[in-house]
Each structure stands twice: as structure tokens, then as C-alpha cells.
Amino acid sequence: MRSSKTRRAKREFTVVFQPIEDDWILASVPELPGAITQGKTMKEAREMIKDAVELLLESYRENAEKDAPGSAIWETITIEVPVA
């Protein structure tokens, strides 16, 4: 089982903003299926997508921890990916 201490790491994601009907702005993160939201202004869309990404990643982590066997070994890896 993993330590109950929550570790934090900064990650960068590319967000795509698109104008949609009724002057709303759609925000999505192509690398994270399901990370999609909207806002009435760019500021609101930015805030909403940050919240959506945080909740989605938290959900991924909780499900991984719940589904992993007790004998699982957890490690952190570092990778580099090209930035567009």
C-alpha cells in the first residue's frame, strides 16, 4: 500500500480553447480524454479546465490505488516529451 502522504508534482498540459455557441468557450486537454469543460470567459474557462484536470488525475490515482494488489511496488519515473 502507498504512503498516505500526498506528493505533489507540477505538470504541464496543452489546453485547446474554442469559441462555441452562445459566446461560451470550450476548453479541452487533448492528452487527457475526459478533460473538457467550458466557461463564459477565458478566465472562467481556464479556471474550469484546471479544476477538471485536477479532479480527473485525482480520480485516476484513486482508482489505480484501489485496483492495485497489496503486493504492488510503486515507483515514480521521469520522462521527457517534445513540446509543440
- The predicted-structure confidence for 33-44, as pLDDT tens digits, reads as follows 999 999 999 999
Q: In angstroms, rounded to a whole number, what is the distance separating the alpha carbons of residues 34 and 67?
A: 20
Name the E strands within the chain.
16-19, 25-28, 36-39
- The predicted-structure confidence for 49-65, as pLDDT tens digits, reads as follows 999 999 999 998 888 88
Place of cell 484546471: 50
Place of cell 484513486: 62
pLDDT at 1 over 50: no
pTM of the predicted protein model: 0.73
- In the chain, domain spans: 16-66
Q: In angstroms, rounded to a whole number, what is the distance separating the alpha carbons of residues 43 and 84?
A: 23
Place of cell 474550469: 48
Please, which pLDDT band fits residue 84 given cuts at 50, 70 and 90?
A: low
